[in-house]
Amino acid sequence: MPAPIHIEHLPDQGRFQASVEGVHCEADYLLQGNVMAITHTGVPPHLEGRGIAAALVQAALDHAQANGWKVSPLCSYARAYMQRHPETLPLLA
């Protein structure tokens, strides 16, 4: 079983990030009023398929929900993630 993914929130950088095997993976966002625009999700190809991007996007969505924000998934991965998880759709801006 793989190790749990530790996600760090860097609000001053607008980023949720995880370090996996010494490599940074990230979900970047811009906060515009009460809307979190997820602009980019990045996981290197050799780390894909491990649920890292999903964990990063879910962390961003959880943070938005906890703060009463809506989400604009500008990143194609974040958009697809929300479509695959209909419970997140009420967050859509």
Looking up residue 62, the CATH number of its domain turns out to be 3.40.630.30
The mean pLDDT values, 10 residues at a time, for the chain of 93 residues are: 83 96 96 97 95 97 98 98 97 97
The total domain count for the chain is 1
DSSP helix/strand/coil, 25: strand
- The answer to whether residue 1 sits within a structural domain is no
- Residue 43's nearest CA partner among 69, 81, 71 is 81
Q: Which amino acid is at 19?
A: S
Residue 28 lies in a domain: yes
In a domain, 32, yes or no: yes
Whether residue 2 lies inside any domain: the answer is no
Q: Which of 38, 37, 18 is nearest to 26 (CA)?
A: 18
CA distance 4 to 57: 15
Cα 22 to Cα 15: distance, rounded to the nearest angstrom: 17
State residue 45's pLDDT score: 95
What does the alpha-carbon distance between residue 66 and residue 49 come to, in Å, rounded to a whole number? 27
Q: Which domain holds residue 43?
A: 7-91
12 CB-near residues (< 8 Å, 6+ apart): none
Task: Provide the whole-model pTM.
Answer: 0.94
Whether residue 63 is contained in a domain is answered as yes
